[in-house]
Structure 1
Amino acid sequence: MAANTIEIICENTGMTKSYTKGTTLDQIAADQNIQLKEPVLGALINNKLRELCYDVYKPKTVQFVDMTHPIGYRMYARSLAFIMYKAVMDMWPEATLRIEHSVSKGWYCEIDNVGIIIKPENVEELEKKMKEIVMADIPFTRTEVRTEKAIALFQERQMSDKADLFGTRTDMYTSIYSLGDQINYFYGYLVPSTRYIHTFDLIPFNGGLLLRLPERHNPHHLPPVPRQEKLFKIFREHKKWGIIMKVPYVGNLNEAVAGHHESELIQVAEALHEKKVARIADKIFKRRHEVKIILISGPSSSGKTTFSKRLGVQLSVLGFRTRLISIDDYFVDRELTPRDEKGDYDFETIKAINVEKFNQDLKDLIDGRQIELPRFDFNEGKSKLSGKILQLGDNDLLIVEGIHGLNPELTPGIKPGQKFKVFVSALTQISIDTQNPIPSTDNRLIRRIVRDYQYRGYSALNTLRRWDSVRAGEEANIFPFQEQADIMFNSALFYELAVLKTMAEPILKEVQQNVPEYAEAVRLLKFLSFFRTIGSKEIPPTSILREFLGGSSFIY
């Protein structure tokens, strides 16, 4: 091999080929005629994401990705956000675009300082402007600049949230993106140019706008907009609290930590949680003459178990005694368990639950009869009797926690009025900055990485490998029923990522570069690097966060 050539292994084609040093990924993709389902957006170089303009100088293993890959989809979404930002600034130069959170299969956005009330016709004009930017095929250009220069640039353009963010970081250099005459910062790489953004929609939504994104596995299709009024309301309420506490963005949180105000943040956040749990208990008390069962559901690592215990405490204050039934003990025998498309047992489907037996036991308990609780033997894959007798007294309430809690198919034999349904999730209320919201899935994933390592003996690699399957189960079995809840509880704490960082970082650093999950570990480590650390000493033992950190006063 010549001294000025390098060997590239392409995982997409299985080819090993020599190239001149300094060849770009774009040139390699063209030379090997990479054909994916969608246009190539970037590449994993030794399992680390790079843009197509990246020059390769050393032997590498390359995997090109399109938007059907999770990494490519995030590139697409970030690039769409920048297009929207440029369109807003082109139309209203003094405006502020805030991309707040995900809801109804899109991103909820607000535009401030426009000088007018935005009407449907303005939304149509904005979408038209975005499409013009797409058709213009403008490149997204990334530049490395000294951090102090980036701060000055952001300050000049009244982008104080970004200036605050980088003012609290210690990196010497910062990447900024330009799109025509606009600059911005995005947490992660963008696609090569605007022409790669082919499918989106913009509609008026609850006083703001909804930026609709295509489905990852069906990139030219926009999913229907589901009604999620309850979810939207809880998001808005907690965003408001972030503003009241003056920590809507990570830069603000970091400044509060630097000013030694973390104790106050913890106290207020925990007090808000306690107040919310107490209010839920009060609502149940008002329906005490009919409610017999409290059904609690939510996605992985939402803190359902601690919430259930805290709710039990508040109900005790009101004179109730709570009794717990685990849905896991009502699994059908292993040979009756449905299998998924891969041929594996599907324990996530409601068909894996003996619904008939579960409902009969609930009816008997409501009617005052004794039951013997079942116990599922996971080693043998058999349902057995546990020997534990349960009977409800006059002031007893049954708490049922599980992923199917809000699914009507779980309790068809129970009258609606006898059920009180709670949806629990960690709906992250803090954002990196005005155009970089933090996905609630990232919040929950970091919680799970810490918990799995602490209590289940799983490495970050194991947790990351399981996460796609966990998410698929949530999409199929939990989220479709969330709006059926009587009430929602947001278990996220706006200080928590600064605490979880200390434990999550060393766990994530154990993921080796020779596995595909390395790219996700790198992404999460970069994300956590935005936060200044908060210690866990002042977090109360009843906190939701203790379910993941340890040190809880509850027995799990």
Structure 2
Amino acid sequence: MEKKVSLADVAIFTDLTPAELAAIEQFIEFTTFEQGVDIIQEGSEGDDLYVILSGQAQVRRGTLDLSTLEAGGCFGELGLLSTQVRAASVTATTRLEVGRLSRQALDTLMDEQTALAKKLYRNVGKVLRDMVTDITDTVALLLGNNARQLRTEVEVRTNGVVNIAKAGTKLRALLPATVDGEAVIAATLDRKAVSLNRSIYASGRLEPLTRTSMEGSVIYRQSVGLMLVEAGHMLSPPAKLGIGPSLGFAYIIEVIDAGGRDLKTLASQLAAMMKQLVAEDRPIRRERRTVEEARSQFLDQGWDMAARVLHSSRNSSVTLVSMGEIYAFEFGPKAPSTALLEHFDLDTRSDTLLLYFRDEELRATDPVQSQVPNHLARQHDSWLNALGITSVGNYNDACVSGEVSQIIRVAEGFHEKRISQIADEIVSRSPLPRIICISGPSSSGKTTFIKRLSVQLRVNGLVPRTLSLDNYYVDREKTVRDEDGEFDFEAYQALDQDLMARDFNALVAGREIRTARYDFASGLSNPEGGPLTSLGPNEILMLEGIHALNPELPVEQGHRVFRIFINPMTSLPLDPVNRVSVSDIRLVRRIVRDRHQRCITAADNILRWPSVSRGERRHIFPFQRLADSVFNSSLIYELSVLKVYAERYLLEVPQDNPAFTTAFRLRRMIAHFVAIYPNHVPPTSLLREFIGGSGFPEH
């Protein structure tokens, strides 16, 4: 039988006399809500108190059920004190009879019966006090003995200055709003990247992050990606979107369902909705869910790929982020709110939707005029779809199901087929090229690619002769310097152009010469210190180096040049918002190779990486559009293998080292992948360049 109560049974009215209750009733509006009706909605403003006389209601924040209210309960108490943004929604789960007392009615009561109004205010205060006490007791019970160790004040060190802060203070309140004109979007607390919405309860070192820093850029881009997917969901009809491969300067956006719009219309409406979200300054929330709750949430959103990632989760709970109705894996901290996410642009190129980040240096490297990278990314995705692998979750499931060997065979077969195609493209050129220029960023796999391409060229009757541009550096003391006054070995001007022109012209003319050699130990160039080299009728010169595609390189039209760009271009998503960065893949490759083979620590490589990336943006990526052919060096399974080595190497980075922030993030990234033992990797694989054991000779 349904429970019914009178006003006298409600906590805030229990000590009122019958006369006082009769007076209060004159100011209360009695009403009924049918099952399923929202009485208050999360995010809306309100100043009404509701008391339940019969029925039940559910309190929910986002998709998380917080509590069930029954007859005699009340909600909205804080609204009587001041107009509040509702922190949760309350929905009638049965037919609900309530009494509603508005703050306006209470103000009138205060004017007419001041003593009674004050008594009511005191009772509301008691109810709120009891709620806080219950919460405190619950927290103390959960903490156990640790509750006695909590401090009321903590020391916070920022830029060498120690300040005292109240325990529980939001990090946002302890940092400046801007640094050098750039908005602070996150922070590092004891070298770990964290959200500005986080509270501090222990002493530590706190530093701001802006979008111009390496880790700040990652956080900013992921936050904007979340906003884009939310904006698509908010359109009517909704557009289903996903973050695709990164092109460095922009993300390719995967349009799963445009909702009947053409691409330009979709871009325009999305941009307008994203600007609206920025103007609304929505908070980006973190919510801890059980694995089962998170899986249910993802399935409700139609995100099967995200639900599958949880199959291999070691934890019983997971953190999700949201700024509205769409929830995604946290995969690292996000900006505290959408007002900080104003630096973006949406554009279309042919049949591609691109999300830019208003970085002028990166925008200048835009290679999409040729559309080659996007074409290869889609080609790569097509065979992954054929394998049924569209996400990290699918991939892990396949590995656990015993399909590792098949995945590796197909991935390596894709590489071999593409290398064979490039060799065929070279041979089919008329007249036959005499010089092949090969370029790519750090750890793209150039060394193994050249060896495998050489095999395919020999199959076609050509004999390649490889020449590294690294041997054509000018003497170190003549090297140009960068803006910091350091030698800029990645600048094109660091190469001896006259010496290159001499040797390239002589070789193409058929003369035998001694090529140049650069001694990195002494920093001196020896113009004739290399081996005797010549090009016969069936021989072809392969030039390798970061500047091999630079149009200023002294190779002439008469040399009949074929240009190749190599780079990993594709990676798997965890969910439609979070995709593994190909730049991170290259960094992990480099960390493993250099620690494994060259005794260079992970910390040293991480600290060097921003400079390496800056050089790539200036001297490599701007010229990839000039390539006659592009090779995508991604291997779907490589992080599973690299993880075997990288996990330990990244753990070697001490927490007081500036590289720890990136090392910690990379550890979290590779944790999502099932490990594969290295003996599965073929000796001719490009991956062997980084883990060792290559079947090709070193020289």
Classify the TM-score, shorter chain. over 0.9
> Out of 164, 167, 171, which is 1:25 matched to?
171
Cα contact 2:290–2:317 (8 A) shared by 1: yes
Secondary structure of the corresponding residue to residue 382 of structure 2:
helix
Deviates more, 1:15-24 or 1:40-49: 15-24
Secondary structure of the corresponding residue to residue 244 of structure 2:
strand
Cα contact 2:438–2:543 (8 A) shared by 1: yes
CA RMSD of aligned residues (A): 2.1
| 1:203 to 2:347 alignment | yes
Residues 55-99 of structure 1, C-alpha deviations (whole Å, 9 max, x = no match): 222111111222222222222222211221122111156642121
* Structure of greater relative contact order (alpha carbons < 8 Å, 6+ residues apart): 1
**Partner of 2:66 in structure 1?**
none
Q: CA 1:133 to 1:420, structure 2 compared with 1: closer, same or farther past 3 Å?
A: same
Cα contact 1:446–1:500 (8 A) shared by 2: yes
**Partner of 1:410 in structure 2?**
553
Deviates more, 1:84-93 or 1:293-302: 84-93
Counterparts of 1:139 and 1:223 in 2: how far apart (Å)?
32
Residues 280-323 of structure 1, C-alpha deviations (whole Å, 9 max, x = no match): 11111112643111111000001101010111111111122111
Cα deviation for residue 104 of structure 1 reads 7.4
| 1:436 to 2:578 alignment | yes
Counterparts of 1:523 and 1:487 in 2: how far apart (Å)?
34
Residues 38-65 of structure 1, C-alpha deviations (whole Å, 9 max, x = no match): 2322211111112122222211111122
**Partner of 2:678 in structure 1?**
536
> Out of 528, 538, 542, which is 1:395 matched to?
538
Cα deviation for residue 477 of structure 1 reads 0.9
AA in 2 matched with 1:408 = P
| 1:360 to 2:502 alignment | yes
Cα deviation for residue 255 of structure 1 reads 0.5
Counterparts of 1:473 and 1:284 in 2: how far apart (Å)?
29
> Out of 286, 289, 301, which is 2:428 matched to?
286
- Aligned residues, how many? 547
Secondary structure of the corresponding residue to residue 532 of structure 1:
coil
Counterparts of 1:417 and 1:443 in 2: how far apart (Å)?
35
Cα contact 1:144–1:175 (8 A) shared by 2: yes
**Partner of 2:593 in structure 1?**
451
Cα deviation for residue 113 of structure 1 reads 3.3
Secondary structure of the corresponding residue to residue 480 of structure 2:
coil
**Partner of 1:324 in structure 2?**
466
**Partner of 2:154 in structure 1?**
6
Counterparts of 1:272 and 1:225 in 2: how far apart (Å)?
26
AA in 2 matched with 1:395 = N
| 1:495 to 2:637 alignment | yes
**Partner of 1:65 in structure 2?**
209
Cα deviation for residue 407 of structure 1 reads 0.7
Which aligned pairs between 1:105-184 and structure 2 lie closer than 5 A?
105-184=249-328
Cα deviation for residue 380 of structure 1 reads 2.5
Cα contact 1:139–1:192 (8 A) shared by 2: yes
Secondary structure of the corresponding residue to residue 634 of structure 2:
coil
Counterparts of 1:344 and 1:102 in 2: how far apart (Å)?
30
> Out of 511, 517, 527, which is 1:375 matched to?
517
Deviates more, 1:493-502 or 1:14-23: 14-23
**Partner of 1:386 in structure 2?**
529
Cα contact 1:238–1:429 (8 A) shared by 2: no
**Partner of 1:467 in structure 2?**
609
**Partner of 1:88 in structure 2?**
232
Cα deviation for residue 156 of structure 1 reads 1.9
Counterparts of 1:550 and 1:173 in 2: how far apart (Å)?
37
Cα contact 1:297–1:424 (8 A) shared by 2: yes
Counterparts of 1:173 and 1:216 in 2: how far apart (Å)?
40
Deviates more, 1:19-28 or 1:444-453: 19-28
Cα deviation for residue 388 of structure 1 reads 2.4
Q: CA 1:69 to 1:377, structure 2 compared with 1: closer, same or farther past 3 Å?
A: closer
Counterparts of 1:257 and 1:43 in 2: how far apart (Å)?
36
Counterparts of 2:390 and 2:248 in 1: how far apart (Å)?
22
**Partner of 2:162 in structure 1?**
16
Deviates more, 1:66-75 or 1:453-462: 66-75
Q: CA 1:181 to 1:429, structure 2 compared with 1: closer, same or farther past 3 Å?
A: closer
Secondary structure of the corresponding residue to residue 431 of structure 1:
coil
Counterparts of 2:360 and 2:209 in 1: how far apart (Å)?
12
**Scaled by the length of structure 1, what TM-score is found?**
0.94
Counterparts of 1:387 and 1:445 in 2: how far apart (Å)?
31
Larger Rg: 2
Cα deviation for residue 242 of structure 1 reads 2.0
In the alignment, structure 1 segments of 5+ residues that lack a partner are: none
| 1:555 to 2:697 alignment | yes
Deviates more, 1:59-68 or 1:541-550: 59-68
Cα contact 1:254–1:531 (8 A) shared by 2: yes
Deviates more, 1:506-515 or 1:197-206: 197-206
Q: CA 1:119 to 1:286, structure 2 compared with 1: closer, same or farther past 3 Å?
A: closer
Cα contact 1:75–1:191 (8 A) shared by 2: yes
Cα contact 1:248–1:429 (8 A) shared by 2: no
AA in 1 matched with 2:455 = V
Q: CA 1:387 to 1:149, structure 2 compared with 1: closer, same or farther past 3 Å?
A: closer
Deviates more, 1:43-52 or 1:330-339: 330-339
Q: CA 1:83 to 1:3, structure 2 compared with 1: closer, same or farther past 3 Å?
A: closer
Counterparts of 2:330 and 2:360 in 1: how far apart (Å)?
20
AA in 2 matched with 1:444 = R
Cα deviation for residue 547 of structure 1 reads 0.4
**Partner of 2:31 in structure 1?**
none
Residues 322-377 of structure 1, C-alpha deviations (whole Å, 9 max, x = no match): 11112122111222211222222211112111111112211111111110122222
Secondary structure of the corresponding residue to residue 527 of structure 1:
helix
Counterparts of 2:361 and 2:509 in 1: how far apart (Å)?
48
Cα contact 2:426–2:432 (8 A) shared by 1: no
Cα deviation for residue 224 of structure 1 reads 8.6
AA in 1 matched with 2:161 = M
Counterparts of 1:249 and 1:3 in 2: how far apart (Å)?
44
In the alignment, structure 2 segments of 5+ residues that lack a partner are: 1-149
Cα contact 2:309–2:392 (8 A) shared by 1: yes
Residues 419-475 of structure 1, C-alpha deviations (whole Å, 9 max, x = no match): 111111111232222221222111100100000111111010011111111111111
Residues 514-537 of structure 1, C-alpha deviations (whole Å, 9 max, x = no match): 011100000000000110111222
Counterparts of 1:228 and 1:513 in 2: how far apart (Å)?
44
**Partner of 2:27 in structure 1?**
none
Counterparts of 2:386 and 2:236 in 1: how far apart (Å)?
27
Q: CA 1:249 to 1:206, structure 2 compared with 1: closer, same or farther past 3 Å?
A: farther
Aligned-pair identity (%): 35
Counterparts of 2:329 and 2:248 in 1: how far apart (Å)?
25
Counterparts of 1:93 and 1:176 in 2: how far apart (Å)?
25
Q: CA 1:378 to 1:113, structure 2 compared with 1: closer, same or farther past 3 Å?
A: closer
Deviates more, 1:36-45 or 1:340-349: 36-45
Cα deviation for residue 232 of structure 1 reads 1.8
Secondary structure of the corresponding residue to residue 489 of structure 1:
strand
> Out of 186, 198, 202, which is 1:54 matched to?
198
**Partner of 1:423 in structure 2?**
565
Secondary structure of the corresponding residue to residue 432 of structure 1:
coil
Cα contact 1:337–1:347 (8 A) shared by 2: yes
